[in-house]
Amino acid sequence: MQNFDLVKKAFSNQSEIFDKLDEQNIILKWMRKIIYNHVKKYLRENDSILELNAGTGIDAVYFAKLGHKIHCTDISEGMIKKLNSKVKDQKLNSLITSEILSFTELNKIKGKSFDYIFSNFGGLNCTQDIKQVISQFKLLLKKEGRLTLVILPKICLWEIALIFKGKFKTSFRRLKKNGVSANINGYNFNTYYYSVSDIKKALMDDYKILEIQGIAAISPPPYMEKYSYKYPYIYKKLIYFDEKFSHIFPFNRWADHLIVTAELI
């Protein structure tokens, strides 16, 4: 079984500042809005949601306020602690439950089934075997249940463009088969990138793809936030075109993140 000890430590450490970092990054806020609008098209009224890598509960709180019940899972004790505190403060205990659990061990969830499975902002990119994770979904989803996975794909046009600045390692890092070292709060661990083809193979014939959407294909990714401040007019134009073409190839394959939504057959 894959060892996530460093991932747990990294995100527990980051939990204290996670919400602040999210709130301050205007690109992340825009991306989250796009993701919410996407998911709301496929959620049915009063759906029960299983959220993987739920973090501090930003998404769970949003969907709970729309009337959905969410069971949140995350391997980080720090993240779950922040989530539980938020749930208590906002009196959402009847709609949001949580447990410390890896998405590689979803078989430990007993006696529950869900209408929807949701994983946001590349949490699943921490696993080197996404097929193993996805293989567990079928037993947890109700008939015609749906899932939305927001993943980091293998090709990001903005990163490839960095080749013109001589940043060769960054330009093609996502194509490395054995993963790329990420650093969160001083902890290093590998991340792995997945194409739409990889996701389709993992879903096998059990699901039908409903929609694939790119985010930050034409506009810059969150870690290049300085461009949004330095060139605000150009940034707004890039956002406009990003939203306009996000469902069209290659922009729904080559982006900073992809949203893949499917339904259990």
pLDDT digits over 175-219, tens only?
A: 998 999 999 989 999 999 999 999 999 999 999 999 999 999 999
Q: Point out the residues of the chain with pLDDT beneath 70.
A: 1
Contact 42, 210 (CB under 8 A): yes
Contact 96, 70 (CB under 8 A): yes
Residue 70 has what pLDDT?
98
Cα(127)–Cα(148) distance, integer angstroms: 17
Residue 37 has what pLDDT?
98
Q: What's the order of all strands across the beta sheet hosting 114-119?
A: 96-100, 69-74, 48-52, 114-119, 141-151, 257-264, 207-215
- CA distances 167 to 84, 158, 175, 190, 222, Å, are 41, 12, 15, 20, 18
pTM: 0.97
- Output the DSSP codes for the chain: ----HHHHHHHHHHTTTHHHHHHH-HHHHHHHHHHHHHHHTTPPTT-EEEEES-TTSHHHHHHHTTT-EEEEEES-HHHHHHHHHHHHHTT-TTTEEEEE--TT-GGG--S--EEEEEE-TTGGGG-S-HHHHHHTGGGTEEEEEEEEEEE--S--HHHHGGGGGT-HHHHTGGG-TT-EEEEETTEEEEE----HHHHHHHHTTSEEEEEEEEESSSSPPGGGTHHHHHSHHHHHHHHHHHHHHTTSTTTTTSSSEEEEEEEE-
CATH for 5-264 is: 3.40.50.150
63 contact partners, CB below 8 Å, separation of at least 6:
39, 43, 49, 70, 118
Q: Residues 1-34: pLDDT tens digits? A: 577 999 999 999 999 999 999 999 999 999 999 9
Contact 215, 258 (CB under 8 A): yes
State the distance between the two ends of the chain, measured CA to CA, in whole angstroms. 29
Query: For the chain, what are the domain ranges?
Result: 5-264
